[in-house]
Amino acid sequence: MNITNTVEPVAPTGARLRTTSTRTRPTHRVLMGCGVAAGPLFLAVGVVQGLTREGFDFTRNAISQLSLGDWGWIQVINFVVAGTLIIVGATGLRRALRDGPGATWAPRLVTVFGASFLVSAVFAADPGAGFPVGTPDGPTTALSTNGAVHMVGGMIGYLALCAAFIALARPFSAQGRRGWALASRIVPVVVIAGFVGSSASVLLFFTGAAVGLVWLSATIARLATTTSN
């Protein structure tokens, strides 16, 4: 009786590694793409609402207040979507940086920032400065529990984002991209200045927050094209 043994061909190690690399490389870029989209999407939805909702004034009202009123659910969803995209982007960032500079803290801090958006979705800002319609014109005199949690969550989130930028300056420095590294150290100053100046102008607050979101998108996009999986 003849017994025939069939031996399956085994691909060379190099070929297997190339195949694995080809399959996994797009994965981290897709994840990082979510992080890139988060900021512009959040700002676009917020600006459109601010321009179309009755009683809202960018010079007097914070964008978070769009969560209030009959159409507030749109901004709540906006917070949830943006926060989720940022957290997903942080996962891609961790994979892209691997064990390199900034790999430990930058993704974690970006995750905290994303989580702060989810907190903002659950705990709405307080009404004030005439919004929603029917609210007294003056500023909020006392914070509610929801308003306090919203404010503290936002502060923690943006401080984490500022720290993330400082951490992300390291991989840019390692790549010899001095301009990106320098900007990643300057943007936190702009963000914090906007928050500090919020008592004088709500627009300063919005500008600082927007700069942070846009720079996060820019840094993730840049790292997605300059790091390997």
Contact (Cβ atoms closer than 8 angstroms) between residue 126 and residue 147: yes
Instruction: Using alpha carbons only, give the angle 138, 140, 118 rounded to the nearest 5 degrees.
Output: 135
Local confidence pLDDT in tens for the 229 residues of the chain:
454 454 445 545 444 434 444 444 568 889 999 999 999 999 999 999 999 999 999 999 999 999 999 999 999 999 999 999 999 999 999 999 988 888 999 999 999 999 999 999 999 999 999 999 988 887 777 899 999 999 999 999 999 999 999 999 999 999 999 999 999 999 999 999 999 998 888 999 999 999 999 999 999 999 998 865 4
Reported pTM: 0.86
For residue 131, report the phi and psi dihedrals to the nearest 5 degrees.
-130, 135
According to DSSP, residue 198 is labeled G
Measure the CA–CA gap between 165 and 181, rounded to whole angstroms: 9
How many Cα atoms within 13 Å fall on the side-chain side of residue 161?
35
Q: What is the pLDDT of residues 62-98, one digit of tens each?
A: 999 999 999 999 999 999 999 999 999 999 999 999 8
In the structure encoding, which two tokens stand for residue 196, read together?
């500090």
Structure token pair of residue 218: 């820019």
